[in-house]
Amino acid sequence: MTPMNWTCEHIEARLSDYIDGLLSPDERHAFDMHANTCENCSQMVASISHLVSDLHSIEQIETPPRLVYAILNQTLGPRAAKAGWQASFGWLRGLASARFAYYGVSVAATLLILLMASGISLRKPKLADLAPGNVYRNIDGQAHRAYAHTAKFVSDLRVVYEIQSRLNKDNELPTAPESTVPQSSPGKNPGSTDGSKPATPRQQNRANGIGRELEILATEVPVVSGQLCGRLLGRRIP
């Protein structure tokens, strides 16, 4: 067989040698020469190459856990149960799994959140903090403080936006989109607040929107939002 006259039969017979890199340079050259000019052979080479690649990518199947024990029981016979302290602590081996660690971290995080919500100080823990009455009072206090802070924060935001809108009016530099909005709805006055000079509709709507969202947030997660507000405002909770 000379390198230049390989046929389709040669290609099919040496296909795996080609894929597995077992052809000599001359044979590889002859293989390529034919495969590059024959549509059927080039398709076959591509198809088998992809198949081999796919087969190599398939991972091994996990062994059923009972199989090893079944084999050991069949060959060595049933093994004697561990005695003494090894038997007592045998169950601890199951705790050293990734799944258990995940559950443990989840439970710890949940407990931490609950402790923070109930106002128990982790730095200076006191037995009295665990009394039901104290826990209730702490949670109630946290909720009220969170609500108060949120209301204050919203109020501050409204003032800031109103001042900003007045400054914009005074400078007489209205932006084009803002000036178009009131004209399209002259009968309505979405920017008015308490009879003072109205802010621009977009600014007022943003202020109202943020206020509403914060109120909802404060209602749903009083503790988190209370702390957040406290940090944002940089003030101590009274």
Partner 1 sequence: MAPCNFWGKLVTVAGFEADDTLEQDAQLVQHCLQGDGSAWEELVRRHTRRIFNICYRFTGNGTEAEDLSQDVFLRVYKTLGSYRSAHGGFATWMTSVTRNLLIDHYRRTKRDRITDSLEDAMPVVENKESAGRRPDQQLLLGELSSQVQTALTKLSPELREAVILRDLQQLEYNEIRQALDVPEGTVKSRINRGRIELARILQQMGVRPS
**Which residues 21-50 are close enough to bind partner 1 by CB under 8 A?**
22, 44, 47-48, 50
Residues 101-130: x where in contact with partner 1 by CB under 8 A, - otherwise, as a string: ------------------------------
Smallest gap from Cβ 40 to partner 1, in A, equals 13
- In eight-state DSSP terms, residue 96 is S
Are residues 231 and 150 in contact, defined by beta-carbon separation less than 8 angstroms?
A: no
Are residues 15 and 6 in contact, defined by beta-carbon separation less than 8 angstroms?
A: no
Q: Does 68 bind partner 1 (CB under 8 A)?
A: yes
Smallest gap from Cβ 22 to partner 1, in A, equals 8
Sign of CA dihedral 214, 219, 220, 225: positive
Q: Does 210 bind partner 1 (CB under 8 A)?
A: no
Other CB atoms within 10 Å distance of the CB of residue 236: 6
Distance CA 183, CA 178 (A): 9
**Considering only 53-61, 110-118, 125-133, 218-226, which stretch makes contact with partner 1 by CB under 8 A?**
53-61
Tokens of 66: 């009972």
Distance CA 131, CA 135 (A): 6
Smallest gap from Cβ 53 to partner 1, in A, equals 8
Please give the residue ranges that form the binding site for partner 1 (CB under 8 A). Answer: 12-17, 20, 22, 44, 47-48, 50-64, 67-68, 70-72, 74-76
